[in-house]
Amino acid sequence: MIDANLIFDSETRLTGSALGCRRGGRRVFDGLDFEVQAGDFLSLVGKNGSGKSTFLRMIAGFVPKVAGEVIYNQGGKTAAALASEDITLVGHQNGLKPGMSLRNNATFYYRLMTGGVPAPERLQIAADIFALGSLLDEPVQYFSSGQRHRSALMRFPFVARQIWLMDEPTVGLDADNRAALAALIQHHMACGGIVIAATHDPMWVQGNVLNMDQFQPAHGTETDDEGWL
Amino acid sequence: MSAQPSVSSVFVALVRRDMALAWSQGGASLLALGFFLIAVSLFPFGVGPEPQILARIAPGVIWVVALLACVVSLDRLYQADYEDGSLDDLTLSPLGLVGVAGAKVLAHWLSTTLPLAIAAPALAVLLNLPDAGYPVLVASLLIGTPALSLIGSIGASLTVAVRRGGVLMFLLILPLYVPTLIFGVGAVDAAVTMSDPLPHLALLAATTLVATVVGLAASAAALKLAME
Amino acid sequence: MHRFANPAQFNRLADAVMPWAMVATVLLFGAGLYYALAGSPPDYQQGESVRVMYVHVPAAWMGMFVYVVMAVASFAALAWRHPLALLAGKAAAPIGATFTALALITGALWGKPMWGTYWVWDGRLTSVLVQFFLYLGYMALWKSMEDEEKAGNAASILALVGLVNIPIIKFSVDWWSTLHQPASVMRLDGPTIDGAMLVPLFLMAAAYQVYFTVVFIWRMKFEINNRKLSVMRSVDMGH
């Protein structure tokens, strides 16, 4: 694969306890506990609106938590939040500029995250994982939605980060690309990486399951204090 | 990989990408420049072609139209990135949101507002601006237009999640442009009437400094809240 | 902080204050209007038209005061993420906008006999007009998004940015010498206007202040109930 000798810190651990989160004026989940450590795969399942995306965005630091605690241990350090230089997040939107070629999009992403310029071979290898190698110099505006989605997924192998946050990564992928994604995830776990993925699809990688439905706030608990807005 | 140099090269990368996008097909820069040229040349038809009247209103017309051209080009400063998801990436980059806002405002100024300042003397000729006004016109635009981009950035970030937020953005930021406009036009008027433009330029520079601090902080805060 | 600022506490406090504030409003307006219209002498220069001052000056003060209230509420809302503070800003804004509009309109009516024109573009008038636009922008931002919390947060940032306008309003008459008269009441070396005019002026200012309290409390209760209704509705919808 792309970084043959890369091994992430095996001590890295991310834990959350009694987490509560509010978004769009309502409690999305409450009392959520989870733990992942180096080499783990955690899949988030649950109904629409059960807070899978919100959970990922909370881990990434976009959405503030209103209750509970997150502890991140990495390299002997303890932090109350995940360091953004340790994560790659790919959400529903693919973050590509239609007028730019895939090569320019990816190169900009690499420079944005690391400040460096990627080697062309690195870009080629990352693109080949999702069968995008021949499209590198095409403007993204001519891509199909599946190709755009794969272009977004290409970021995971392209920039070396220990923690991968994926929102619905399998949507629109054919069988070959699903297999490629599963292989990529398994390789990442073998290197000590951590993957948290929200998905409606059945498990395709061995790992833990977090069912978001069990953390739904009970009706009527949003009383006068602060949950009312 | 050390942290410090990489932050500055991330900043440069973002500035260059935004400038490339602004100048590419469908980018805002050429549209703003075109708007500037056409809107200024409408005034002789509106107020009549008498050279004295045009000379009298030339500083104000050029400043007001440059300001409007700037706002027109600003309304999607953050919105395009917000809608296609790249604002997520920018937020997770080592720059931090203040750095992101700074890079995007600088790119906007270099690609869109600076060309307006460069084109201004040509338009001043069409409006019969007296000779004494030219150096100060350019100087005032160079000092004052960063404030236009910075204050505009506040409006753009506040309306980033608003569909068709352009008109709302006008309502929010045009009142905030008043001091910049007063000092900018005041400087050119002073030069034309042979009095000292320096106090006006100093106040203009002070406005730009305040706009830098307030504009970047407010934009970063607004983007952070919009991303939730 | 959160313990003292929950809606139930607010409602209890509001219900205790409300009747007194209403009585005070009626009494102060009665006394203030009497002194303003009949119980004080006409000005030796301005004649009877000086009586506009008793409506105009307190309205201008209140326009600024309410803006500061709104900005403080906005700061609290952003710093502590407290929804009640968010609603306090929302409740204050239309009241402040109305006071500011009243100051602008009465100022124009006063300006016509005094200056011979309804409007001049001087520092004071312009900065007060900017304040009025800031109120409008704040209210427009609140209405611009479906997610009320997001809208309120954006509006709060605008309110804080607009705070730079307050010192400009206050000092504009000193910085730019123009038609608008300089400060004559709120100055370090004591007021320069006659005591017979200070009585109705302060009575009217106090009347505006309690009137603001009444309307503010009333609007707060309205906003809180609105919020509760929409939360209940979204719970019923299965969210």
Half-sphere exposure of C66 (CA within 13 A, CB side): 32
Treating both helix axes as pointing N-terminal to C-terminal, what angle do B133-158 and B198-226 enclose, rounded to 10 degrees? 20
Q: Which residues of A touch B5 (CB under 8 A)?
A: 115
C interface toward A at CB cutoff 8 Å?
2, 6-8, 81-84, 86-87, 147-150, 227-228, 230-231, 234-235, 239
- Judged by CB atoms closer than 8 Å, whether chains meet at C149 and A219 is answered as no
Per-residue pLDDT reduced to its tens digit, B8-25: 999 999 999 999 998 886
In a domain, B54, yes or no: yes
Contact B175 C130 (CB under 8 A): yes
Interchain CB contact of A219 with C (< 8 Å)? yes
Tally of CB atoms within 10 A around B131: 9
Alpha-carbon distance C5 to nearest alpha carbon in chain B (angstroms):
22
Is residue B164 over pLDDT 90? no
How are beta strands A163-167 and A87-90 bridged, if at all? parallel
Helices (H) and strands (E) in chain B, counts: 11, 0
pLDDT at A225: 44
Given an 8 Å threshold on Cβ–Cβ distance, is C150 in contact with B221?
no
Amino acid occupying residue B152: G
For A:52-111, CB contacts with B below 8 A are: 57, 60, 62-64, 84-85, 87, 89, 91-97, 99-100, 108-109, 111
Identify the three-state secondary structure at position C43: strand
- Residues A95, B83 contacting (CB under 8 angstroms): no
Mutation pick from B98, B154, B157, B162 vs chain C, by most beta carbons of C within 10 Å, is B162
Q: What is the residue range of B134's domain?
A: 7-227
CB contact under 8 A, A112 and B93: yes
As a whole number of Å, the CA-based R_g of chain C is: 20
Residue B1 lies in a domain: no
What per-residue string of b and e applies to C136-166 under the rule 16 or more CB within 10 Å gives b? bbbbbbbebbeebbbbbbbbbbbbbbbbebb
Chains that contact B by 3+ CB pairs under 8 Å?
Answer: A, C
Say what the pTM is: 0.89
Q: What are the DSSP E strand ranges found in C52-92?
A: none
| Cα nearest neighbour of B87 on chain A | A95
Structure-token match 């100093």, residue found: B202
pLDDT > 90 in chain C, percent: 46
Interface of A with C in 16-35 (CB under 8 A): 24-26
Smallest CA–CA distance, residue A24 to chain B, in Å, is 9
* Three-class secondary structure of residue C47 per DSSP: strand
Structure tokens at A149: 């989605």
| Residues C108-153: tens digit of each pLDDT | 998 888 888 888 888 888 899 999 999 999 999 999 988 888 899 9
Q: What is the pLDDT of residues C52-63, one digit of tens each?
A: 888 999 999 999
Spacing of C-alpha B19 from chain mean position: 14
With contact defined as beta carbons under 8 Å apart, do A30 and A216 qualify? yes
Helices (H), C81-164: 83-115, 123-144, 148-161
Tens of pLDDT along B93-106? 989 899 999 999 99
B93 found inside a domain: yes
With b for 16 or more beta-carbon neighbours within 10 A and e for fewer, the A118-142 pattern comes to beeebbebbbbbbebeebbeebbee
Q: Which residue of B has its CA nearest to A98?
A: B84
pLDDT of residue C148: 85
Torsion angle, alpha carbons of B21, B24, B27, B32, to 10: 120
What is the rounded distance in angstroms from the CA atom of residue B108 to the CA atom of residue B149? Answer: 7
**Any bridge partners for residue A23, and if so which?**
A26
Q: Is B25 helix (H, G, I), strand (E, B) or coil?
A: coil
Which has more pLDDT, C129 or C2?
Answer: C129
Indicate if the pLDDT at residue C193 is higher than 50: yes
Q: How would you list the strands of the sheet with A194-198, edge to edge?
A: A87-90, A163-167, A194-198, A41-45, A208-211
Q: Which residue of A has its CA nearest to B20?
A: A100
A87 beta partners: A163
Q: Which of C132, C157, C164, C171 is the best mutation test for B, with the most CBs of B within 10 A?
A: C157
How far is residue A44 CA from its own chain's centroid?
Answer: 11
Residue pLDDT, tens place only, B104-126 = 999 999 999 999 999 999 999 99
- What integer pLDDT is reported at residue C75 of this predicted model? 96
Task: Specify the pLDDT at position B152.
Answer: 95
Residue of B nearest to A21 (CA): B228
Cα–Cα dist A149/A170, whole Å: 9
Chains that touch C (3 or more CB pairs under 8 A): A, B
The span from the first CA to the last CA of chain B, in angstroms, equals: 31
d(CA B33, CA B115): 7
In chain C, domain spans: 21-41+49-180+192-238
Interface residue of B153, B171, B176, B181 to substitute, partner C, most C CBs within 10 Å: B176
Q: What pLDDT is stored for residue C128 in this prediction? A: 94
Q: Evaluate if residue C192 carries a pLDDT over 80.
A: no
Q: What string of H, E and C letters represents the secondary structure of chain A? A: CCCCCCCCCCCCEEEEEEEEEEECCEEEEEEEEEEEECCCEEEEECCCCCCHHHHHHHHCCCCCEEEEEEEEEECCEEECCCCHHHEEEECCCCCCCCCCEHHHHHHHHHHHHHCCCCCHHHHHHHHHHCCCHHHCCCEHHHCCHHHHHHHHHCHHHHCCCCEEEEECCCCCCCHHHHHHHHHHHHHHHHCCCEEEEECCCCCCCCCEEEEHHHHCCCCCCCCCCCCCC
User: Residue for token digits 């272009």?
Assistant: A151
Chain C residues in contact with B171 by the CB 8 A cut-off are 133, 136-137, 140
**Cβ-contact C128, C60 below 8 angstroms:** yes
- Predicted confidence at residue C187, as pLDDT, reads 67
Q: How many residues comprise chain C? A: 239
Minimum mean pLDDT range among A72-76, B65-69, B79-83, B142-146: A72-76
* Spatial separation of the C-alpha atoms in residues B141 and B204, rounded to whole Å: 10
Q: What is the CB-side half-sphere exposure of residue A182 using CA atoms within 13 A?
A: 14
CB within 8 Å: A99 and B6? no
Residue B125 is predicted with a pLDDT of 93
Query: Per the CB < 8 Å rule, is B6 touching A115?
Result: yes
C interface mutation test: which of B71, B167, B172 has the most C CBs within 10 A? B172
CB A56 within 8 A of CB A196: yes
Question: How many domains are contained in chain B?
Answer: 1
- CA A98 to chain B, closest CA, distance in angstroms equals 9
DSSP characters over C185-225: SS-TT---S-HHHHHHHHHHHHHHHHHHHHHHHHHHHHHHH
Three-state SS at B27: coil
The parts of chain A modelled with pLDDT lower than 50 are: 221-227, 229
**Cβ-based neighbours of B48, under 8 Å, separated by 6 or more:** none
* Distance of alpha carbon C150 from alpha carbon C138, whole angstroms: 13
User: ipTM above 0.90?
Assistant: no
Quick one: pLDDT at residue B2?
A: 42
Return d(Cα C217, Cα B169) in angstroms, integer: 31
Nearest CA in chain C to B165: C144
User: So what's the pLDDT on residue C10?
Assistant: 83
Q: How many CB atoms lie within 10 A of CB A219?
A: 9
Is A19 exposed, middle or buried, given 0-12, 13-18 or 19+ CB atoms closer than 10 A?
A: buried
Q: Tokens 């043959």 sit at which residue?
A: A4
User: What is the arithmetic mean of pLDDT over C209-223?
Assistant: 93
